[in-house]
Amino acid sequence: MKFLKQIYLLVALVSTLVATKMSAQSFEPTKQGLQFSAQDLDIKIEFYSNNIVRVYKTPKGVSYDKKSLSVVKSPEKTVVNFEQKGNNKLLKSSSIQVEVNPVTGGISFYDASGKLLLKDKDYGTQFSAIDDGGTPSFKVREGFLLDKNEAVYGVGQIMDNKFNRRNSSHHMQNENMSTYSPYFMSVKGYGVFWDNNSISDYNDNPQELSFSGIGHCADYYFMYGKNADGVIAQVRDLTGKAPMLPLWAYGFFQSKERYHTQDESLDVLKKYRKLQVPIDVIIQDWRYWPEYQKSDSLWNSQSFDKERFPDPKKWVNEIHKLNAKLLIVTWPGFGPKTDQRKEFDSKNMIINFDSWPPKSGARPYDVFNPEALNIYWRYLNKGIFSYIGNDGWWLDSTEPDHINVKESDFLLPTHLGTYRSVKNGFSLMHNKGIATNQRLTSTDKRVVILTRSGFLGQQLYGSNTWSGDVQSTWEMLEKQIPAALNYTLMGIPNWNSDIGGFFAGRWKKDGGNMSPEFQELYVRWMQFGAFTPMMRSHGTDLPREIWNFGDRGTWCFDAQEKIINLRYKLLPYIYSTSWEVSNYNGTFMRPLVMDFAADTKTHEIGNEYLFGRSFLVAPVTKYKAKIWPVYLPQGSDWYNFWTNEYYKGGQTVTTDTPVDILPLYVKSGSIVPFGPKVQYATEKKWDNLEIRVYPGANGEFLLYEDENDNYNYEKGVYSTIKFKWNDLEKTLTIEDRKGNFSGMIKSRKFRIILVKPNQTIADNSTEITKSVFYNGKQTHVKL
């Protein structure tokens, strides 16, 4: 018996030594990670920073040099410590730990304290060989293990009225109204970006969460941020920060399908000015180009019909004289008789499937070809930007539209492979080409792009994605909210939708613009739109300009005017939030889970959100709703914006919602600046701002100002003023102003209001607690 025990011990010792030797031989250290082979895979793990780890896998012996369309970050110098953990290897930065199993290929991610965050499954990566349009490739699948009740978000803008993306499956193919990226964020404070631009699939079930698509590698980034803001900061570090948009881009936009002549759009602006309803932007939709009456062979020629737009330079000058801006549409597809199409065809830079409009012969250019991006801009700049001096772009059909679909279309070649292997990156590259070329052409105007699709990384290009050609229904309004919140949780902060919904023909039989239900739907949608990054009215079938709903004094006109005026009063708050988004990786539309993750009820709430750090918004999405339930998260107290009624957090309250009232609450400790009443964003200086302090907690606010529309802010040409509220001492400190810029207000007045719980502040109130003259030096205001 003793002899047998000695044999067992000897065998165990030999096995341990062999395993240790095999383990040591399996791993090859690299500068900031390691590489090894397991399960017929070559696997490379590399720290891009203390918080970001890249995992890269290919079939064993099959090398592939991946060029990302989204990732702009190079690995930064990171101290990585290596330890042995049994037969596994442990890699540690200051923020995360990565455990690697050399046999199964499994990878586990932990925080610095050793708390498990995520598992890349043992045997969870699969490569199935396929023929991809004549090129050997793979169907790639990557599986992860999550906690059973772990909430995740992201994946894209999905119109299913769901917020938490667990236990759902999605075919990720970017189309009109469906905008996907293979990314998810966990409530545990990490995110995963599976860097693949192909038509893909997301599937989550109790066994695993997986991505699958076409490619030559499995390539993903694990990002740890501790909380949602931290994850978004890592996303922006990896794929690009969001630049500042100009101040005017946060005003009101008006468009329709479509203004037929230059005089028609000018008349619209003139009428807004005559009515003294604020507006900043008019948008010109399609078919301003020649010969559209005969055919669409000149579709998107990026030139102007001489009869309907006889003097486009004068047209834009007149728009500017009316203190407004112009966005003009351009498409990725070109009709067969356009000069652009002829050049693209001659250089094999067209993706040969039919695009919009039907029977036109229009086809999209190859956005994946860098030379094609430059050619596109050459025509766009010559025909429009440098010719007429427009202020921004409406990039329609950036999925792009695909009609008369054939399966073989998806195997068509592009510069980077088959169309199906890169399709979801189309919008990203189209936006990139225009944004980067405009910046090379001029730095006097910030890039402003309205686009119908998106992909992770597009935030780098001044893009604002809208939700597509949605139906004008209450159900669709309701679906906009969680779709927007999941989209912005991908780190892409700018989003909007057609106020009132695009297709409104269903309402014609009920009186069109005079239909009481359509009017109410439009007003409720506009209230929602006022608390999105872009407030834009647009649609077809029924005109959307404010006077089409009645005259001033009628409820529908007055309700619209009220919310538009509120949007403009909040411009100092919104523009300062834009600086937080750009400089500090902030988010405009903040799901409650971002700020109140400890309150587990917020994990499933996708119909409310914070706009900036202070305003809780709960849009009304039902007809004739006179009251509306609003959940106020635990962790703060809350003020009803309209009445100043004061509530403790952690409860659902019933809010009175007459048609002109949007359920709106302000977080205690908030400091909110209100600007002057204006007709356009830059009409008046902010030299007499109202500053409202909502007591109940300490708080601070950073007021940001700059030259409003150029890139000088990137050179430090801006100013900030920090306000700090000490709730115990009831003291507001206005700190020293930092920075300066041309035209900066050096001396100004702040009208301070200490909001009193349950006491309403009347409009244009004279009940100012204190008026403070401020010359840039720190001052304390005792309230």
Write the secondary structure of 187-201 as one string of H (helix), E (strand) and C (coil). CCCEEEEECCCCCEE
Same domain? 221 vs 252: no
pLDDT at 294: 77
Residue 746 placed within a domain: no
Same domain? 275 vs 297 = yes
d(CA 645, CA 657): 14
Report the DSSP pairing between strands 281-284 and 589-591: unpaired
> Residue 424 — φ and ψ, nearest 5°?
-70, -10
- My answer on whether 56 and 173 are in the same domain is yes
Asked whether 235 and 251 are in contact (CB, 8 A), the reply is no
Same domain, 200 and 280: no
Rounded Cα distance, 469 and 486, in Å: 19
Do 209 and 253 reside in the same domain of the chain? Answer: no
Low-confidence stretches of the chain (pLDDT < 70) are: 1-25, 292-293, 762-767
Q: Which residue has 């229009």 as its token pair?
A: 362
Question: Alpha-carbon distance 695 to 533, whole Å?
Answer: 27
In a domain, 689, yes or no: no
Residue listed under structure tokens 């990156």? 425
At residue 211, the pLDDT reads: 98
Which residue is catalytic, options 345, 469, 558, 645? 469
Distance in angstroms (rounded) separating the CA atoms of residues 462 and 445: 11
Residue 171 within any structural domain of the chain: yes
User: Do residues 303 and 179 share a domain?
Assistant: no
Closest CA to 140 of 129, 156, 151: 129
Cis amide linkage into residue 400, ω under 30° from 0? yes
Provide the domain limits for residue 33. Answer: 2-239
Half-sphere exposure of 145 (CA within 13 A, CB side): 11
C-alpha to C-alpha distances, 704 to 49, 260, 331, 694, 707, nearest whole angstrom: 30, 39, 35, 20, 11
Residues 220 and 286 in one domain: no
| 469 noted as active-site residue | yes
Is residue 645 classed exposed, middle or buried when 0-12, 13-18 and 19+ CB atoms within 10 A define those classes?
middle
In a domain, 763, yes or no: no
* CB 763 within 8 Å of CB 753: no
Q: Which of 280, 399, 498, 637 is catalytic?
A: 399
Which three-class secondary structure string do you get for 375-401? HHHHHHHHHHHHHHCCCEEEECCCCCC
pLDDT of residue 545: 98
The reply to whether 270 and 226 lie within a common domain is no
Domain-ending residue, one of 445, 466, 487: 466
Of 99, 120, 396, 401, the active-site residue reads 396
Between helices 474-488 and 516-529, what is the axis angle to 10°?
10
Distance CA 296, CA 255 (A): 22
| Length of the chain counted residue by residue | 783
* pTM score of the predicted model: 0.96
Helix (H, G, I), strand (E, B) or coil at 220: strand
Q: Which residues 6+ apart lie within 8 Å of 444 measured at CB?
A: 709, 710
232 vs 485: CA distance, rounded Å: 13
Q: Is residue 262 part of a domain?
A: yes
Asked if residue 65 and residue 44 are part of one domain, the reply reads yes
- CATH, residue 457: 3.20.20.80
What is the reported pLDDT for 25?
A: 44
Show which of 415, 439, 466 is a domain's final residue.
Answer: 466
Domain membership of residue 717 (yes or no) is no
Please give the torsion angle defined by the CA atoms of residues 591, 98, 205 and 213, in that order, rounded to the nearest 10 degrees: 90
User: What is the C-alpha separation between 712 and 640, in angstroms, rounded?
Assistant: 38
Q: What is the pLDDT of residue 291?
A: 79
Q: Which residue has the tokens 């728009």?
A: 319
99 is catalytic: no
**How far is the C-alpha of 91 from the C-alpha of 406, rounded, in Å?**
48
Nearest-angstrom CA–CA distance, 722 and 563: 28
Q: Within a domain: residue 414?
A: yes
120 assigned to active site: no
Rounded Cα distance, 422 and 410, in Å: 10
Q: Summarize pLDDT for 581-629 with one digit per residue, the tens.
A: 999 999 999 999 999 999 999 999 999 999 999 999 999 999 999 999 9
Instruction: Check which CATH number belongs to the domain holding 215 and give it.
Output: 2.60.40.1760
Assigned token pair, 371 = 């030379």
Pairwise CA distance, residues 20 & 35, whole Å: 17
**188 backbone dihedrals φ, ψ, rounded to 5°:** -80, -5
Does the bond joining 258 to the residue before it have cis omega, within 30 degrees of 0?
yes
Q: What is the spatial distance between Cα 104 and Cα 123, in angstroms, rounded to a whole number?
A: 6
Do residues 137 and 189 both lie within one domain? Answer: yes
Q: 3-class secondary structure for 258-272?
A: CCCCHHHHHHHHHHH
Structural domain count of the chain: 2
Place of tokens 């023909």: 505
Q: Whose CA is closest to 526, among 556, 486, 554?
A: 556
> What pLDDT does residue 763 have?
52
Q: Are residues 113 and 258 in the same domain?
A: no
Token digits of residue 247: 């101040």
Is 443 a member of any domain?
A: yes
Domain boundary among 239, 264, 285: 239
- Is residue 264 domain-shared with residue 325, that is, in the same domain? yes
Burial (CB < 10 A; 0-12, 13-18, 19+), residue 244, is buried
DSSP state of 471: B
Helix ranges restricted to H, 585-649: 592-595
